[in-house]
């Protein structure tokens, strides 16, 4: 004869189930109980660092705990990414994520971390790269540049801020899509590359919009197109490369927040909700736009899909351009 549960047994089972249901809520309410470290894999003063400080200050207000910026530059962002990847998945160490997360696996033979060790929490915004020429070149639109490059294969050159950067790979993607041969000249940083373009040492380059917009507005450089799918609010009259005939060309210096893989779901949800509130604040959106960034919140699932597409694109470009770094 089967045993019948007693009233006491049923009460205990019910209480246990309620505790299990309450546990995630309790965890989300308890976190954060101490300051949060936001690792920035680049030096102070750059775009990603500026965005981290802007977002970090407001995130601290939303969560009620300080957000401490911890700059860990080196190896194209790999040092900081590895630092975050090794941390416990408890919500107290986060990474200010950037395209380095999707570019590095495509070009580095030996990464100091595994991409699977990090997971996006949210994407917060995008910064277009912009295709630049010297106005003295007489090139007024993308088609002019492509025509000249095809007429003089290998004779035109382009500057970048170094091998394996998003600016380098943007130019290689441009070459692939336009079926042109343009010679790469890497410089030590974007400032040196801009100087080379201004002086006529090189014919073209891609740059992050924030660092080039002053020269564009002063008429010293000409913006032929932006690399994002939509026009930039900072340069509304400049077409996208897709509009210029390169369908599907979509590259941006996106930024967001990632965490060690395995972050507890209640913590991840509370963090993502807080980040969305931060990005939706008018003052934050305006501050991003002043620096040439367009606020663009994506939750973890959407961000993961976008990053996977980004990684696949860079893998193809790296293979096309035969880019591999140690």
- 3-state secondary structure labels for all residues of the chain: CCCCCCHHHHHHHHHHHHHHHHHHHHHHHHCCCCCEEEEECCCCCCHHHHHHHHHHHHHHHHHCCCEEEEECCCHHHHHHHHHHHCCCCCCCEEEEECCHHHHHHHHECCCCCCHHHEEEEEEEEECEEEEEECHHHCCCCHHHHHHHHHHCCCCCEEEECCCCCHHHHHHHHHHHHHCCCCEEEECCCHHHHHHHHHHCCCCEEEEEHHHHHHHHHCCCCEEEEECCCCCCCCCCCCCECCCCCCCCCCCECCEEEEEECCCCHHHHHHHHHHHHHHHCCHHHHHHHHHCCCEEEEECHHHHHHHHHHHHHHHHHHHHHHCCCEC
List pLDDT tens digits, range 212-266: 999 999 999 999 999 999 999 889 999 999 999 998 899 988 999 999 999 999 9
Residue 238 lies in a domain: no
Which pLDDT value is given to residue 193?
Answer: 93
Same domain, residue pair 134 and 222: yes
Which CATH number fits the domain that encloses residue 48?
Answer: 3.40.190.150
pTM value? 0.84
Q: Given this model, what pLDDT does residue 23 score?
A: 46
- 20, part of any domain: no
For position 190, which CATH number holds? Answer: 3.40.190.10
Residue 9 lies in a domain: no
The total number of structural domains that make up the chain: 2
Residue where a domain terminates, one of 226, 242, 273: 226
pLDDT of residue 1: 47
Q: Is residue 21 domain-resident?
A: no
Give the domain extent around 122. 35-126+253-321
- pLDDT tens series, the chain, 326 aa: 444 556 665 556 555 555 454 444 455 569 999 999 999 999 898 889 999 999 999 999 999 999 999 999 988 899 999 999 999 999 999 999 999 999 999 999 999 999 999 999 999 999 999 999 999 999 999 999 999 999 999 999 999 988 888 899 999 999 999 999 999 999 988 889 999 999 999 999 999 998 899 999 999 999 999 999 999 988 999 999 999 999 889 998 899 999 999 999 999 999 999 999 999 999 999 999 888 888 999 999 999 999 999 999 999 999 999 999 98
């Amino acid at each position: 004869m089967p045993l019948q549960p007693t009233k006491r047994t049923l009460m205990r089972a019910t209480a246990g189930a309620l505790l299990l249901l309450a546990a995630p809520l309790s965890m989300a309410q308890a976190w954060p109980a101490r300051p949060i470290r936001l690792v920035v894999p680049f030096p102070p003063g750059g775009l990603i660092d500026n965005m981290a400080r802007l977002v970090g200050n407001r995130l601290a207000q939303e969560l009620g705990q300080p957000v401490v910026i911890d700059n860990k530059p080196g190896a194209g962002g790999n040092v900081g990414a590895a630092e975050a990847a090794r941390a416990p998945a408890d919500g107290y160490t986060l990474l200010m994520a950037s395209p380095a997360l999707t570019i590095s696996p495509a070009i580095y033979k030996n990464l100091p971390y595994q991409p699977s060790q990090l997971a996006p929490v949210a994407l917060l915004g995008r910064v277009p790269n912009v295709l630049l020429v010297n106005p003295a070149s007489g090139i007024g639109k993308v088609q002019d540049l492509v025509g000249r490059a095809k007429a003089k294969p290998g004779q035109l050159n382009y500057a970048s801020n170094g091998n394996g950067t998003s600016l380098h790979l943007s130019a290689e993607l441009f070459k692939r899509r336009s079926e042109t041969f343009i010679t790469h000249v890497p410089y030590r940083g974007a400032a040196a590359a801009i100087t080379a373009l201004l002086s006529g040492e090189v014919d073209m380059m891609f740059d992050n919009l924030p660092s080039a917009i002053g020269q564009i507005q002063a008429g010293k450089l000409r913006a032929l197109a932006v690399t994002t799918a939509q026009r930039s609010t900072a340069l509304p009259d400049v077409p996208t490369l897709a509009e210029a005939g390169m369908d599907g060309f979509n590259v941006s210096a996106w930024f967001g927040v990632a965490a060690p893989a395995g972050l507890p779901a209640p913590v991840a949800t509370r963090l993502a909700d807080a980040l969305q509130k931060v990005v939706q604040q008018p003052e934050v959106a305006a501050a991003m736009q002043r620096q040439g960034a367009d606020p663009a919140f994506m939750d973890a699932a959407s961000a993961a899909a976008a990053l996977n597409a980004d990684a696949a694109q860079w893998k193809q470009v790296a293979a096309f351009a035969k880019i591999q770094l140690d």
